[in-house]
Amino acid sequence: MLSKERALKIKEIAEKYRNVPAPYGEDINLEEYKIEKGGISVDSLMELDEGYKSKLESIGIDIEEKTSAGSYLQINNKAVYSKTDSKIEMMPISEALKKYNLDDYLWNLVEIKDKYTARAALELTEGFFIRVPKGVKETIPLQTCLLIGEESSSQNVHNIIIVEEGAELNVITGCATSPHVKSGLHIGVSEFYVKKDAKLTYTMIHDWGENTHVRPRTGVYIEENGVFISNYVVMTEVKSIQSYPTAYCVGDNSKVTFQTVAYGKGNSKMDLGSRVVLSGKNSSADMISRTIVVDNAEIIARGHLVGESENVKGHLECRGLILSDNAHLHAVPELEAKRTNLDLTHEAAVGKIAENQLMYLMSRGLTEDEAVSLIIKGFLNVDVSGLPPKLAKSVEQIMEMTLDAS
């Protein structure tokens, strides 16, 4: 639940922003996307129909649940399945709101300031609530999955993850649109709390399809010695994504890593940023983004580091390959310092595949296509850090599969 005052306050703000466009990304007419109320529920992921099952597998979800500590599946706006055998607490956010007072967690890290956040605050919204109790280090990943299953509908999501003091968690989230759905909208609010000495690794794979708009809104709060690692992979077409997650390194010695791998093809439009505010002493941030655009795709890769405290360290690395004259690639790295004693750096490079790399491989007997494909695979091969080997392998496989298919 929320306290009455808080609930009222949220409603009041949201009403104000109901029709306010976001500063970035194409403006979407929300009227075109209805909010689906009903839906199925299952007792096991194996009960899902084949179409869903193969979709889930293609975004890294283990449907037999042999290698996961628990699973959450949401189709449209209904939690279809939520189960864990671990000491982790996991439930739909609607249930968590019945059980707990979430005044300190809901709408605390993400501000309501556009029509998308307003919709998530005002309309039917579901999501996962995950809490790892103090000191529990779960080594097996938890899997969550958000699917759009209904034509021209809006999926509204609000997720909360709390990793209590000294605890550890690894989450893989797969997001996709059901194959038969022609158009959809995903609004996803996520608020993650990494407490003192805790660690959260969050890996997200997007496979939305060419007619889906996606508007994630993410905030992460990291306390003393806390570590947050985000790996984000999008290899398939999408109508548009606009996201700019912000991590707040509030605790001393807290650490953040954002890794983004995006392959823009078809008419995809992606505006992908990440921002870290370093306000804890000795806190640090690493941002790595690797983007490729082909066909008519457009990617804006943003990065913003804000240094607000002593001895903070941040590095932003932004590399892009442009492989078509109709594509568009725009790197926007920003560094902002508010103290003298800090170290923020960035390197950005966009361009085509280097001729000498191509020639090198071709002189070893690779055709031009084979050489290009190998160079691209290498380029996208960021070290998916902090992942259990099996999960890293499956992320790698997803990337290879999509690259080989294209």
Partner 1 sequence: MLSIEDLCVKIGDKEILKDIHLYIDSGETHVLFGPNGAGKSTLINTILGNPKYEIVSGSIYFKGKDITDMPMYERAKLGIGISYQSPPAIPGVKLKNLLEIITNRDWSEIEKMAEILNFKDFLEREVNVGFSGGEAKRSEILQIYAQNPDFIMFDEPDSGVDVENVELIGTIINELLDKNKMPSDRKKSGLIITHMGHILNFMDVDRAHVLYNGIVACSGHPEEILNNIIKHGYERCVECYQKKEH
Q: Give just the sign of the alpha carbon dihedral 277, 106, 30, 265.
A: positive
Element of type H or E holding 394? helix 389-405
Task: Give the integer Cα–Cα distance in Å for 248 and 165.
Answer: 17
Task: Give the integer Cα–Cα distance in Å for 361 and 202.
Answer: 35
Least separation, in Å, of the C-beta of 371 and partner 1? 8
CB closer to partner 1, 73 vs 331: 331
Which one of the spans 135-143, 182-190, 230-238, 352-360 is the region binding partner 1 (CB under 8 A)?
Answer: 352-360
Check residue 8 for interaction with partner 1 (CB under 8 A). Answer: no
Least separation, in Å, of the C-beta of 326 and partner 1? 24
CB 230 within 8 A of CB 257: yes
Check residue 385 for interaction with partner 1 (CB under 8 A). Answer: no
Least separation, in Å, of the C-beta of 380 and partner 1? 7
Binding characters for partner 1, 259-298, by CB under 8 A (x = yes): ----------------------------------------
Check residue 363 for interaction with partner 1 (CB under 8 A). Answer: yes
CB 176 within 8 A of CB 147: yes
Q: Name, in order, each residue with C-beta under 8 angstroms of 389's C-beta and a sequence gap of 6 or more.
A: none
What is the number of other CB atoms lying within 10 angstroms of the CB of residue 17?
20
Check residue 368 for interaction with partner 1 (CB under 8 A). Answer: yes
Binding characters for partner 1, 311-350, by CB under 8 A (x = yes): ----------------------------------------
CB closer to partner 1, 37 vs 364: 364
Q: Which two tokens stand for residue 184?
A: 């959809």
What is the size of the binding site for partner 1 (CB under 8 A)? 23
Distances (CA, A) of 370 to 116, 244, 404: 42, 34, 10
Give SS3 for 62.
coil
Check residue 356 for interaction with partner 1 (CB under 8 A). Answer: yes
| Residues found near partner 1 in the complex (CB under 8 A) | 354-357, 359-368, 370, 374-375, 377-382
